[in-house]
Each structure stands twice: as C-alpha cells, then as structure tokens.
A and B are shown apart, each in its own frame.
Chain A
Amino acid sequence: MTDRFHLDAVPIRLESCGKTFPGGSRALEPLDLTIRGGETIVFLGPSGCGKTTTLRMIAGLESPDPGGRVWFGEEDVTALPIERRNVGMVFQSYALFPNMSVAENVAYGLKVRRVERADRERRVEEMLDLMHLGAFAGRRVDQLSGGQRQRVALARALVVRPRVLLLDEPLTALDAKLRDSLRLDIDRLLRGLGVTAVYVTHDQGEAMALGDRIVVMAKGRVAQIGTPRDIYHRPTDGFVADFIGAMNRVSGQAQSGALRLGRGAFPWSGPDGPVELLIRPEDIALAAEGEEDTHLDGLVAAAVFLGDRTRLVVETGDGPPLTVDAASRSGLARGDRVGLRLDPSRLLNLPQP
C-alpha cells in the first residue's frame, strides 16, 4: 500500500562539514560523507558525539563551518534554511502543534505549500489511513498517547513528499514495548517509500534494525561506517566494538608465531609480547571444566536468566571476568565451574580507544 506514496530517492553529500559552536567548542570535526539515494543511514553514538549536529546540518537547522557544503543531489543547499530544503523531519519530542488537531497538524505542510483544499484533504486522509490514524483525525494532540503522537509526526513529515526524511531519536521518548512496534512501522515505511532517510539514535538495537548503513560516531568524529553486520562483526576499533553489543577482553601471549591463551595456542603472525583480544559472548562455547579443547576454566560469578538465554559472568582468574551466554535451559548457576572454548576465527585484535 505504500507503493503509491513512493518518493524520490535523492542522494545527500556532505563536504568537509565541521561545526564549531560560538563558545569555541568543536561539536563536529570536518566530515565527508555520501548518503546514497533511497538509503537509510543511521547515525549512532553516545550523547555529545556529534550525531545530532550532523543531522541538523543536513536539515538546515545548523550551518557548517565556513568551507563546508551540503548537497542534495546536484543542488548545493548549504545556504538554504530548513523551510526551503523540502525535508521531512521527526523530532524526539514530537513537536506537534498543540493548537491544531491531528488532521490540521498533518495538513500544515500542504497548506504552507498552497496545495489546493480538495487535494490537501485527500492526501491528509490517505496519509492518516496509512499510519492507522484515521480515527484520530479530529482529536487534539494532547489526547493521544506517545506512540500515536509520533505516528502523527511521521505522517506530517511524509505527507509533503519530502526529498529527505530526517528522524532525530524518534523512539527515545517512548516505552520499550511501543518502541519495538513503532520501529517495525518505521522500517516498513522506509522500505516502502524508498525515501532517503537519516536516522539518529543512541540505541544500537534501533540502528541495527533500521540502518542500511550505520555511521558510528564518537567525540565529534566518525568511528566507523558500514553495514550493521560489518559494524558488529568487524569493528575497526575498540570504541565501536564496545559500544555495539557486549564484548569480552582476553589477554594472551604471542611467541614465535603462536598465541598462547590459557591452555590453547593459536597460529599468530604478529610480533611477540602480550596481546589483548576481543571476543563476543556468543563466540565463546561452554563445556565441562577441564574438557578437551577448552582454553580456559572459570567460576560462574553471576548468572542472569534472560528468558531465551542465561547470561553468565565467568571469573577465569586471569584478567577481567568474561561474559558468556548459556542456553536457556542449561541450569548453570553461581558457583558452578565451567570450561570455555574460544572460537579462534572470531578473535579480534584492535587498536584500543
């Protein structure tokens, strides 16, 4: 049903876009980035990493420092204020107009564009139906739940057929359950509409689920750009590895072409000396203590039952405790002793943050 709302897929290009605030603090180091037409790109990072500043520069709410350029397709929009960029924007705090009904909110952008009344009403109605908001058209905004409000905000942003859809932490103000269902709605919309979308979040789950590509940011710089799989399985630095998902640190000793890690030894090409390696919880297998092929023995210091699995914290007596996932019905508990088998192909050796 979203087919008839299909939107243009305009690429976006940022050219050495940096941002220094009047106080002199650097919010964003000069950034070059191309967002492909129709792509959903997610800016992910902790607060203060520059992700929102980047989004606001694309929106036209902030200007880049001199020398920076923002391109929508072949058009240089750097000097255009937001109202002349034809974007759609969804805010964390909804930014719905309290003085207007749901339908009036959605119609606002069309009114501004002087869309003729009959056409306007038809488009508003279609959009409200698409967002399952038809029954709320006449409601006041303060009579809606948070999830409904954000759907109105989405409808309002999309009904004007924007060149680019910008979403600034749209799910952050919602509770967990609503967040999941609205995330699915947004996913469905973005795929269906084919619009170029820029999505800002601090939630890695949202980023993984929605992004064609993820831009991980830290301290005003891009830490890594890649598909969700790349980011998760092939992080390029320790910050990205730690920020996305749970990550363990294990230390080994490299010596003449072999890496010793607990009882195990793996082929190793790096120089000799101590090496710190990273490994995801799901890449560590559990076995009985001392069993053949295990690399480390440990004591379960804590076991947190999560329903589908049990997350264990295992003390190995060597370095920080490891996080390991056990099957839901494994029955392992605090005080049990276990053996650990590390998948050598999944060990990561990264520069530290």
Chain B
Amino acid sequence: MSTLIDGLSLGSIYALIALGYTMVYGIAKMLNFAHGDIIMVGTYAILTTMALCGFPAVAIVMAVIVCTILGIVVEKVAYKPLRGASPLAVLITAIGVSYLLQSIAQLIYGAKPQPVTLINFGHVTFGSTTLNISTLVTLGVAAVIMAGLTVFIKKTKTGRAMLAVSEDRGAAELMGIPVNKVITLTFGIGSALAAAASVFYLLQIPATSPTVGSLPGIKAFTAAVIGGIGSIPGAMIGGILLGVIEKVCMSIPALNPYTTAIEFSLLIVILLVKPTGLLGKKRREKV
C-alpha cells in the first residue's frame, strides 16, 4: 500500500516534468533536452533562497519565478533564432544549453552535492502503514496542478490557441494566432511545472548537485514517449505508470537492482507494440 502511494507520488513528479517535454514537443516540435536542467536550477534557487531568508514559501515562489524566466529566456536566446532550422540543429542546441546550465551551476555552487532542507513534514501512521506526509502533499498538489492545466488547455482561448498551433502552425498563424507568443507561453508553463517538480523532488530527496536534473529528466522524457509524445494526458499517464513501476520494482528485493533496466525495457516493449506511445496520435498521410 505505502509502495503504491510512494509510486504515485514519484510518478506525479515524473508526470509534471513529462508535461514540460510533451507540451514543448507538441507546440514547438522540438525535444527540449535542457528541460531536466531547469529542475536543477529550481533546486539551486530554493537552496539559495533558503540560505538567504529561510522561508520555504518564499523559496518555492522564487524557484517558480526563476525557472519560468529562465525557460522563456532560453527559448528566446537559443531556440527562437533556429525556428525553421533542421530539427537536428535544434536538438544539438538543446543539449548544448543543458551542458551550459550544468556548467554554470558547477561554477557557482561547485560539483559536490549539497543538502537542501525545505520543509520536514514528518509522517503519519494508518494502522500498519507509515506514510511520509510529504508524499501525500506531492500527490495532492501535483494532481491539482495537472487538473488545472487540463482545464486551462480545454476551456480557455489561450489553451485552444496552443492546441491549434500544435496541430498546424502555419494554418494557425494565418488564422491570426500569435504563434511566437504561444511558444513563449508554452516554455513558461513547462518551466513553471519543472519548478514545481524541483520542489517535490527536494521533499523526497533533500539534496542537490549540478547534475541532479539529468536522471529525472531522462526518465520523464521516457514517460512522455511511453504516453505518446505531444499528448498531455499521455504524459500524465506515462509519468504515473513509470513512477509506480519504479517504486514497486524497488520494493521487491529480487528486482531492486534491475529497476532502471526494467523501466527502459518497458519503453522498448510499449514502442514495439504501439510505436506512437499509449495515447500518441497516428500520423495519417493523406495522398
């Protein structure tokens, strides 16, 4: 039982990150491999704010602000000039941005992992199961964020504009949709979600280092592909699936050493059976 809750909570962190990958892919048609490092920047923003003032709430708000601005700046400086360039050039640029952010963090904070204490919630006991409150908070808040995002995309004008751009950028532009603004907004939202993920990450593992974003980034990317990249519900399902599988594997002693291998094998199996991912759209070529 507690394994399942742990899994759901880890999964919702993956889902938040995966949403950033999938939204940017859907709208700008690029894989933003620097996305994981936005989480890293979020953790350092929290570290610094906590050292300066010590209020967790301020630290969380700072992380969201810093990440959102960083996401938008990276898009404007690094990706926007490449609009229309070959996807490979954009991909390499994204990898470059990723290393750049890691190196800057290393210059400022050093390469050693540093402890970050945000909030210590303690734990509760229900009968025989003990749960960390932080796990429950993660699960609850992430669910609210995802529900809010879904409503935003489905019910608002801006959300519709985002969907339209992801379907056919050219046609959307000719219908008067400000495509550049929509892309900027997408990076902003994606990075804000990454900031939220960094908060939850620190609640589970209270330490950070310049490469802290890499593994969650890769796993969330895997989750986005499993769910069908470009699909928002797909990213949520993929993330939660991956999180639950990870925690379940880790709780079984025989499988524990193979956890990561099992996760990535799952990716391969799902792509073999359904090449577009669980909820991915089929690409229909009309002749």
Partners in one complex: no
